[in-house]
Chain A
Amino acid sequence: MKPGLSPQQALALRRHLEGGLPLVARPYQALAERINADENQVLEQMRQWSEQGLFRRIGLVLHHRALGFTANAMLVLDVPDALIDEVGQRLGRAPGINLCYQRPRRLPQWRYNLFCMVHGRQREQVEAQIQALLEEHLLSDLPHQLLFSTQVFKQCGGRFAPSRTGAPTHG
């Protein structure tokens, strides 16, 4: 078995991957040719990166509005500190919740500390879905608000120094 990629080859591989995976039948072979390595070395390196959590999957970024997901709501809740982990984990697992984060309160201007993103095709459907979800988890009594987005000024295009390949989903 061949040794792994050199640090220079690994860096070159990452740079190539920033542009996306080549759209060919054997993408790892195509990448290997570009960095003067062989297919197995590239696959081995990428499996390592995947196991280390450097990337979650080889997947895609959707222009979700192009698919009709125009009802984008941010559900914010004021959860007692002692319950935040439990509630966050429960809501995070619930179907339809795409992202779930704890963020700081900024009193007195902002009291909410749990943020969930829900995307849907219709506003009424998203509202009903969230209401049902809160009832199911006995959370309807917690102070909460639903902030629908009505306009997008910049969906991506954020630049940050290390790499442009990830999408900073929600800070």
Chain B
Amino acid sequence: MDDLDRRLINRLQLGLPLVRHPWRVLAAELESSSNELLERLHALLADGVLTRFGPMFDIERLGGAFTLAALAVPEERFEEVAEQLQGLPEVAHNYRREHAWNMWFVLGCASEQGIAETLQRIETLTGLPLLNLPKEETYHVGLYFPA
């Protein structure tokens, strides 16, 4: 990854303009060419540095229900429980964190009822009590990673 890749990633995190020739706009800003930028973007997606390029739909406005949940998993069972969650399509992110509540994951379902059922299924599957921490208020969403 070179300087142009980094500038392209940083610029694209602010969004591509909704105009007929969006790459010309970016090429002018980044002192490059449309073709060069498109080739760079192809390569970054192919390398896996980027996993998606396109409109970032607000899934909550499209419908669906989400929550953040945590489990306190005994150390000797950690891998086993992680694999159990891996098998559930509703589990989106699963992180190990340094805390007594050591497994943190996001659930995404079509409805609130789906969330309740999935939480119940996880408790039954693992035999562990769950913390269910749905979002009550959003103060800021703005993932930005300077490359």
User: Which A residues fall within an 8 A CB radius of B?
Assistant: 17-21, 23-29, 39, 43, 46-47, 49-50, 53-64, 66-67, 69, 72, 74, 84-85, 88-89, 91-93, 97-104, 106, 109-110, 115, 119, 145, 147-163, 165-171
Q: Count how many pairs of residues, one from A and one from B, have CB atoms less than 8 Å apart in the complex.
A: 267
Contacting residues, chain A, for B24 (C-beta < 8 A): 25
| Cα–Cα distance between A160 and B114 once the two chains are bound (Å) | 10
Residue of B67, B70, B93, B99 near A145 (CB, 8 A) is B99
Contacting residues, chain B, for A55 (C-beta < 8 A): 55-58
Residue of A60, A102, A159 near B137 (CB, 8 A) is A102
Interface SS majority for chain A: mixed
Contact call A59/B93, Cβ cutoff below 8 A: no
- The A-contacting residues of B in range 63-106, CB under 8 angstroms, are 63-64, 66-70, 82, 85-86, 89-99, 101, 104-106
Given contacts A62-B9, A93-B140, contact A165 B53 (CB under 8 A): no
Is B4 at the interface (CB under 8 A from chain A)?
A: no
Contact call A167/B136, Cβ cutoff below 8 A: no
- Chain B contact patch, size range: 35 or more
Contacting residues, chain A, for B51 (C-beta < 8 A): 61-63, 156
Contact call B62/A162, Cβ cutoff below 8 A: yes
| Cα–Cα distance between A95 and B51 once the two chains are bound (Å) | 25
Pairs of residues from A and B, 10 with the lowest C-beta to C-beta distance, nearest first: A158-B92, A92-B140, A57-B15, A92-B139, A161-B110, A166-B59, A171-B68, A20-B54, A88-B139, A102-B137
Residue of A21, A69, A153 near B86 (CB, 8 A) is A153
- For the complex formed, measure the closest distance between the CB of A166 and the CB atoms of chain B, giving whole angstroms: 3
- For the complex formed, measure the closest distance between the CB of B27 and the CB atoms of chain A, giving whole angstroms: 10
Contact call A50/B108, Cβ cutoff below 8 A: no
| Cα–Cα distance between A25 and B42 once the two chains are bound (Å) | 13
Contact call A20/B106, Cβ cutoff below 8 A: no
Contacting residues, chain B, for A57 (C-beta < 8 A): 14-16, 55-56
